[in-house]
Amino acid sequence: MADSRSELEVEVVASDRFIWSGGARLVKARTTDGDIGIMPGHTPVLALLAEGEVAIEPASGSRVRVQVSQGFFSVDHDRVVIVADDATVVDGVEAGTR
């Protein structure tokens, strides 16, 4: 259930480098249990990340798409952390920018 917060704090990292971080309204990813969508106020989640695309709807700017390999996906207190063995920005801002 959503609360009064309007933004998620998102961080995407690969095992060897930073990929992207910033504020977002929505994060979608594929886990080993299926697709997941996270909005502000979501309950805590810890899931295994499946290979595929992570889509981030930033608080401002264009959608960011990141191709990821396996890893994990964590949500707690409107903070989303995605750690992948490997990750590449497919569309959106350049890697390493906010």
**Cα 66-5-61 angle, rounded to 5 deg:** 40
Overall pTM > 0.75: yes
Helices (H), 1-98: none
The chain-wide mean pLDDT, for the chain, equals 90
pLDDT value at residue 93? 60
* Residue 66 in tokens: 């990141």
**Cα 76-78-81 angle, rounded to 5 deg:** 60
Give counts: helices (H), strands (E), the chain: 0, 9
pLDDT value at residue 95? 42
Task: Give the side-chain half-sphere CA count within 13 A for 61.
Answer: 15
Q: What is the CATH number of domain 8-91?
A: 2.60.15.10
Q: Where are the domains of the chain?
A: 8-91
